[in-house]
Structure 1
């Protein structure tokens, strides 16, 4: 199907129409945040599902009940998705946990009024592209990424869902109030330390034993087995896991198996041009 049939242009970025219908986007604009809300913000394919596993475990003091009984899209729902309209989010007890893929300037007015806690997860954009390529192959509501060279050009120039990776990163780095930044690469390197730092930010300090249990439970292989998190419940006509698993490898550097030398060089040139004025030390740099 053509992009016009699959996507909606919303505030300058493309969003998949199937999961972002007009009614959910309208509701998003009037959503009322609370100061103690926790918001996970990511550009797609940057570690969203991983963080949707970690944060509920921290908030519950390590109790696995929610991650064992609730799908991640219900336990830490996307505010902009259609499902949000049926979850009675306004009635959830505090502290509530949410997710969004939107850029900073796309947040609803209440966000800037109350300033909830934000966990911003970032990832090497070459690996984001690689993961996105495989995701687009298996998701029927996204455009076909073949040929790869064309999809790479679209990705680097923001002609994909949720727009430019560069603009997304920069929009959230420009306002650092009550925002905790962490990278996919940091989490791979030392998940226990990452869990401990996130817990401190959330004002939920945990003892070493609980931190260790959360880190073990959120290891990639264990998460992949969790049917509440691995998207195995999604119908095949929506996500065809025979083409690619949703939780695929969970590693850093897989882009080396995806990009040609010429594509990697082109990627680096676009990256340098877009990020030359950004004052932040990225884990992959």
Structure 2
């Protein structure tokens, strides 16, 4: 993979990108887990197909290319057959992805505290038969602490792990992933969105995405398409839109779309835990990125 950084977890391996034949116009959706991946896939689908009636389940149209839990050969063959503009999912940061001319790389960031609580809910919703050996949690080698505040501290303090037995979920990994886009956000092929902005103005963010992808849609049409990507609309179509439905990943597909609510961490974290968190995140990111990650918090 040349000078690219390799990211390898119990469920993915960025080296699989070596096998993908890019086309001009391809879209790579690269996000940290639980930061709005499926949301961004749906927005891309709405723009590419210009309809909310998708031809196949979203996970088939936009597969997780470097997941090791799927048949990579079948995924690559399916993508090769696609004649529409392709948009592919990955949780590999930008510094682990091949840089190709004519390809757009898109990321969504989120308040890390919301992301980790959403991840914990997602892990609890995974069907036991779908869990790989070693588990998916931030500390796969050892049982996580029973106390949720202590689990939060473990997540916040964990070192970045580009190659590990875990899913790579830690504060350090999330910040690093977003930073690989943040540091290149001025480049025309690179686009960084925030989960909070999608919640606050979905039509406006869809309009921005259309500009990034050079897709021409009228303002009226963008309003109509955005209405199909609200949280409630997507939750009602969970059997079509949730990732992993083909592999029976979830106990409940509907519960994959739990609430979409931000700020639940306020109900869990006391001032000491928050101070600890802020000291840690300040070690991992420059002040402007810290501020961008936490748009609803005045400090």
What is the CA RMSD across the aligned residues, in angstroms? 2.7
**1:264: Cα distance to partner?**
2.3
**1:77: Cα distance to partner?**
1.1
**In structure 1, what is the equivalent of residue 124 of structure 2?**
137
**In structure 2, what is the equivalent of residue 6 of structure 1?**
none
- SS of 1:45's equivalent in the other structure is coil
Distance 1:16 1:73, change over 3 A: farther
Per-residue CA deviation, residues 201-243 of structure 1 (Å, 9 max, x unaligned), is 111121122111111111101100002014594676x42339x
Distance 1:230 1:91 in 2: 22
Question: Is 1:120 aligned to residue 110 of structure 2?
Answer: no
Question: Is 1:76 aligned to residue 62 of structure 2?
Answer: yes
Unaligned runs of 5+ in 1: 1-10
* 8 Å contact kept, 1:41–1:99: yes
**In structure 2, what is the equivalent of residue 273 of structure 1?**
283
Question: Is 1:65 aligned to residue 53 of structure 2?
Answer: yes
Distance 1:231 1:161, change over 3 A: closer
Per-residue CA deviation, residues 157-199 of structure 1 (Å, 9 max, x unaligned), is 2465235112111122223331111100001001111111111
Question: Is 1:221 aligned to residue 232 of structure 2?
Answer: yes
Question: Is 1:16 aligned to residue 10 of structure 2?
Answer: yes
Distance 1:102 1:247, change over 3 A: same
**In structure 1, what is the equivalent of residue 181 of structure 2?**
172
* 8 Å contact kept, 2:62–2:88: yes
**In structure 2, what is the equivalent of residue 47 of structure 1?**
36
- SS of 1:114's equivalent in the other structure is coil
**In structure 1, what is the equivalent of residue 152 of structure 2?**
152
Question: Is 1:185 aligned to residue 196 of structure 2?
Answer: yes
**In structure 2, what is the equivalent of residue 263 of structure 1?**
273
Paired positions, count: 262
Unaligned runs of 5+ in 2: 138-142
Distance 1:161 1:78 in 2: 14
Per-residue CA deviation, residues 98-150 of structure 1 (Å, 9 max, x unaligned), is 1111012211xxx3242511121111111111111211222242236552345
Distance 1:245 1:262, change over 3 A: farther
* 8 Å contact kept, 2:42–2:58: yes
Distance 1:134 1:203 in 2: 36
* 8 Å contact kept, 2:28–2:88: yes
Distance 2:244 2:7 in 1: 28
* 8 Å contact kept, 2:107–2:191: yes
**In structure 1, what is the equivalent of residue 258 of structure 2?**
248
**In structure 2, what is the equivalent of residue 206 of structure 1?**
217
- SS of 1:15's equivalent in the other structure is coil
* 8 Å contact kept, 2:181–2:192: no
